[in-house]
Structure 1
Amino acid sequence: MKDHDLILSDLAREAEMNPGTMSSIINGNRTLSVDQLDRITQAMGYPVGYYYERYVSEYLTEANPNWRRMSPFIHNCARLNKLDCIHEVVNLLMDKLGYSESLFELAEELFREGLYEAATILYENVALSEKKQYSERLAMCQYRLFHTRQGDNQEKNYEAAVQFEIYVDRLDEIEQLDALKDLANTYRSLRKWDKVELFAKVLGDKAKIQYNMEQQRQPSKRENTKKPSFPLFAYWAFSHLLRDEVCEARKDYEKAFQHTYMYADLSWVKETDEITLEWKKRYKEWAEANAYVNKLHAGEISVLDDYVAFFSSRKEETLPGLDNVIEAANRYHLNVDHILSQFQTEILAMRDKHEGVGVYNQQFILERYVHFTCELAVYYLNKSNFADGFTFLLSCLEKSTLINNRSYIIKCVKLYEAYLEYASFEMKAAYRNLIKKVDEDET
């Protein structure tokens, strides 16, 4: 006010506040809410949040915790990504009893808004305060933390999955279906097939029980029951789709076909609503695709053209489709240059674009792309096409380093050493730079 020659009413007008309220705040006779702080800060020409650190240290630490003031402050900090302030305020609250439930509810709100980093701080603290309790809230915190910890680093994804496993059965029965699906999907992207099989079977058993219970309920009572994210039968079908993939990975194609037939025939599903019909259609298409895949990997090369025609019209199936084709080509020494030429534009676009598509999440797509480039490198190097072979080998090594997948890194190193004599000077230099990056990540 002195610097800008303002009287109290001028400042109040700039801050869009009542002059009496402004007077009480300046004279220390009224508590300062975060909304009032934001208004005054903007009136002074500073961005919102400019005084948040001082607000915590000079006001909140001295006052008794007041949830009506703390909650909007934490929310604002989350939007402004002021995570240090959230840490300080949460520490103040956790020293007092009775704030665990309020923090959890706010964490859920932040999670729904996509403010995951801020939500993680709250979930971690609530989980810590309830770690000795066999509570559903603790399990839910761990489920949310499992979600927020999923990213490109596959080692960390694995650690998060292992940490969450023991909490699944503490969730309510409906929430367990999504949790089991998500766990199985994570292990699927890591190619941990024993784990995929384990959680897929549990998912199928629980989904079948829930579906039968739902059918036995009176129609009037169904409206009041908690609903899962997808139709109950879809979880059961997904469990067999996952087990189909497990059998395929183990080269047990006969058993894989048994699971394919299970989710291909959903005629027993009684519902006829639009969502149900859409899911039944999806599973019928996936069954058709996986039937082609199983036959192709089992050596029935005659299905190749039909399979390519199938996935060429379905964008989300392009990468998995090409990956299956090139894997079969390497296994049975096929020439698929014409197919690779047909999808040249799509293959080039995949290099820098790995977000989720359709039902496939980002982790699945990125891992599948790494597997695809590894198989492509093998394919071209075996054909003495060293330029393309080393290009895809280096791409595989680069992405493997990005997602911290040591298995693929080792495969790339072995493949490079096997064909080292054919590498150009530029390829050798690029390889050394990538290996240097790998070494830096290890230290």
Structure 2
Amino acid sequence: MYNTTTILTEITKHMKDKDLILSDLAREAEMNPGTMSSIINGNRTLSVDQLDRITKAMGHPVGYYYERYVSEYLTEANPNWRRMSPFIHNCAKLNKLDCIHDVVNLLMDKLGYSESLFELAEELFHEKKYQAAAILYENVAVSEKKQYSERLAMCQYRLFHTRQGDNQEKNYEAAVQFEIYVDRLDEIDQLEALKDLANTYRSLRKWDKVELFAKALGDKAKIQYKLEQQRNHMKKENSKKPSFPLFAYWAFSHLLRAEVCEAHKDYQKALQHTYTYGDLSWVKDSDETTLKWKRQYEEWAVGNTYLNKILAGEISVLSDYLLYISSRKDEILPALDIIVDSANRYHFDVDVILKQFEGEILSFLEQQKIESFYTKRFITERFMHFSKELSIYYLTKKRYSDGFKFLISCLEKSTLINNKSYIIKCMKLYESYREYASSDVKTAYRKLINEVDKDEA
């Protein structure tokens, strides 16, 4: 391919090299010969679907001419959205993000396309083509002139989602950037947004932020629940539906606030929040989804009641708590984390418990998929905290091999997601027991610290 050639000259050259006539190429491309003739003679504009057919017939991969298609067919004084839209969609499928950038740049000064770009971004987002969608959202946000528009807020919400990943520093930046837009969303979307923000700050252990957004979530969910009851009474069914029952958002806000109290070692207040979300007798609906979430929160309340009592030093409930979690796989990691944390704080032995759940502890080193309100980031953070506490437990008992194994595991995950708080905690713990580290541990530690140094460079 040379810069002096065009797509049409490439097609003509292909026909000459392969000794093809128009009807031959049309047949291979599964196109009408008359349509092919109009395209070759420049009497008809080439659509992206036609380009894909011809490209494939020429033996090239789909998308081979996309960069050139932008400059030859999409650069117009009055852009043709009917050609641009399918082209952007195809680029998203092929992950040709540069082409999407080029097309969107052509529309930057055309404010009339903001709504169309937003709708296409929504399609791509729901198809999980997040990188492509983010390009559109970013440009819509820039072109949106109404500072308090709902569309601008939704763009920022979607960008917050697309920017969430394994790097905790970037997750934090994305959350801070988005939080000022929450109140501009639709009331129902606000519930999801507040839940997502609280979960992000929860994974970062930014407890003041968790409290702030959890309380807002509870207040708004309570209002929406009352409004829903009124709508049901008036038999109106046209209102927007949330992802979860409204009472579940309210209950979740109290679950989050209980965790904040736990973090601040106010276990009595944590129990008050736990008892609050555990009593959902006031929810009168009896559909399957409602009953599912009522049972879930009642179960969580039982487990978290045990949890807070153990954190407060009531070791007598430990056996009941173990019985409770033994049949609940998703609760094992949080439970063991709390048990080991309490063992370190109140100096009691949990060797038998760790032996009982040895298989589960090893499995936590792998990815876990948790349904409901739990997130991958939350599970990763929980395992880091558990690894740190387990390392402290073993090192204190002079079981250095086990202690350093979990210290290195914690440092490994902390480095991977750039969690500076845990990196520092691991470094301090390592320095306290450095003299007991084996040569292999020292090598592994130095390698990880070098990775940290590279990231900081």
Q: Distance in 2 between matches of 1:238 and 1:131?
A: 35
Residue 226 of structure 2 corresponds to: 212
Secondary structure of 1:176 counterpart? helix
Q: Which amino acid aligns with 2:352?
A: H
Partner of 1:86: 100
- Describe how 1:299-310 pairs up with structure 2 within 5 A: 299-310=313-324
Give the drift of 1:321: 1.3
Among 57, 73, 88, the alignment partner of 2:71 is: 57
Supply the distance in 2 between the matched residues of 1:379 and 1:57 (Cα, whole angstroms): 64
Distance in structure 2 (CA, Å) of the matches to 1:357 and 1:324? 21
Matched residue SS, 2:426: helix
Q: Judge conservation of contact 2:45–2:73 (CA < 8 Å) in 1.
A: no
The answer as to 2:343 corresponding to 1:329 is yes
Deviations 1:75-107 (A, max 9, x none): 010011000000000010122230000000000
Which residue number corresponds to residue 178 of structure 1?
A: 192
CA-CA distance at 1:110 after TM superposition = 0.4
Q: Do structure 1's residue 278 and structure 2's residue 299 form an aligned pair?
A: no
1:190 to 197, 204, 229: 204
Residue 66 in 1 paired to residue 77 in 2? Answer: no
Counterpart of 2:60 in structure 1 is 46
Q: Which amino acid aligns with 1:236?
A: W
Aligned to 1:426: 440
Instruction: Give distance in 1, aligned partners of 2:125 and 2:233.
Output: 33
| Paired position in structure 1 for 2:8 | none
Query: Which blocks of at least 5 consecutive residues in structure 2 are unaligned?
Result: 1-14
In the alignment, does 2:117 pair up with 1:103?
A: yes
**Match for 1:93: what amino acid?**
L
Alpha-carbon distance between aligned partners in 2 of 1:392 and 1:218, rounded to the nearest angstrom? 53
User: 1:229 maps to which residue?
Assistant: 243
Contact conserved, 1:355 with 1:365, CA < 8 A, in 2?
Answer: no
Between the aligned partners of 2:319 and 2:19, the Cα distance in structure 1 is 81
3-state SS of the aligned residue for 1:2?
helix
TM-score, with length taken from structure 1 = 0.98
> Pick from 434, 440, 443: which aligns with 2:454?
440
Task: Give distance in 2, aligned partners of 1:340 and 1:161.
Answer: 36
Q: Is the 8 A contact 1:214 1:222 kept in 2?
A: no
| Counterparts of 2:108 and 2:221, CA distance in 1 | 38
- Name the SS of the counterpart of 2:418 in structure 1: coil
Q: How does 1:91-170 map to 2 (within 5 A)?
A: 91-130=105-144, 132-170=146-184
Which SS does the other structure have where 1:222 is aligned?
Answer: coil
CA distance in 2, matches of 1:131, 1:400: 40
Aligned to 2:358: 344
Bigger CA drift: 235-244 or 215-224? 215-224
Give the equivalent residue in structure 2 for 1:256: 270
Alignment of 1:76 onto 2:79? no
Partner amino acid, structure 1, of 2:210: V
What amino acid is the match of 2:63? G
Alpha-carbon separation, structure 1, partners of 2:106 and 2:234: 47
How many Å separate the matches in 1 of 2:102 and 2:449? 41
Residue 5 of structure 2 is matched in structure 1 by none
% identical equivalent positions: 77
State which of 379, 383, 395 in structure 2 corresponds to 1:369.
383
Instruction: Name the count of aligned residue pairs.
Output: 443
Query: Structure 1 stretch 182-191 or stretch 349-358: which is displaced more?
Result: 349-358
The CA distance in 2 between the partners of 1:95 and 1:394, in whole Å, is 52
Whether 1:199 aligns to 2:213 is yes
State the Cα distance separating 1:309 from its structure 2 match: 1.8
**Structure 1 residue 221, shift from structure 2 partner:** 4.2
Q: Which amino acid in the other structure matches residue 84 of structure 1?
A: D
1:265 aligned onto 2:283? no
Q: Secondary structure at the match of 1:295?
A: helix
**Given the alignment, which residue of 423, 428, 431 partners 1:417?**
431
Equivalent in 1, 5, 9 of residue 23 of structure 2 = 9
The answer to which of 351-360 and 101-110 deviates more is: 351-360
After superposition, give the CA deviation of every residue in 1:294-341 in whole Å (9 maximum; x if it has no partner): 000000001112112211211211211111111111111121111111
**Partner secondary structure for residue 99 of structure 1:** helix
Contact 1:168–1:180 (CA<8 Å) still a contact in 2?
A: yes
SS at match of 2:116: helix
Q: Measured at CA, do residues 330 and 222 of structure 1 come closer, stay the same or move farther in structure 2, by a change above 3 Å? A: farther
Query: Secondary structure of 2:112's partner?
Result: coil
Runs of 4+ in 1 over 6 A off after TM superposition: none
Partner of 1:401: 415
* Alignment RMSD (CA, Å): 1.2
- Equivalent position amino acid for 1:300 in 2: E
Question: Following the alignment from structure 1 to structure 2, what is the Cα–Cα distance between the partners of residues 323 and 157?
Answer: 24
Measure, in 2, the Cα distance between the counterparts of 1:182 and 1:358.
12
Q: Check conservation: 2:153, 2:185, Cα contact below 8 A.
A: yes
Q: Which segments of 5 or more consecutive residues in structure 1 lack a partner in the other structure?
A: none
SS at match of 1:5: coil
Q: Which has the higher mean CA deviation after the structures are superposed, 356-365 or 176-185?
A: 356-365
Deviation at 1:58, TM superposition (A): 2.2
The residue number in structure 1 matching 2:406 is 392
Letter in 2 for 1:320: P
- One-letter code of the match for 1:276? T
**Cα pair 1:154 1:405 within 8 Å, conserved:** yes
Letter in 2 for 1:215: Q
Preserved contact between residue 111 and residue 143 of structure 2 (Cα < 8 Å): no
Answer yes or no: is the 8 Å Cα contact 1:56–1:85 preserved in 2: yes
